[in-house]
Amino acid sequence: MTARIQVKETSKYYGDFEGSLESIISQLQSALDDGWEGIDVEYDYHDSYQEYYLYKHRPENDKEYAKRMKLLEKEKAEKLKAKERRRKEYEKLKKEFEDTP
Looking at every residue in the chain, the average pLDDT score rounds to 92
**pLDDT tens digits, 15-31:** 888 999 999 999 999 99
CA end-to-end span of the chain: 52
Q: Which helix (H) or strand (E) holds 74?
A: helix 62-98
**pLDDT tens digits, 55-67:** 999 999 999 999 9
Distance (Å) of CA 47 to CA 14, 27, 65: 18, 26, 37
How many residues in total does the chain contain? 101
pLDDT of 43 above 70: yes
CA-CA distance, 60 to 65, in Å (whole number)? 6
- Entry pTM: 0.65
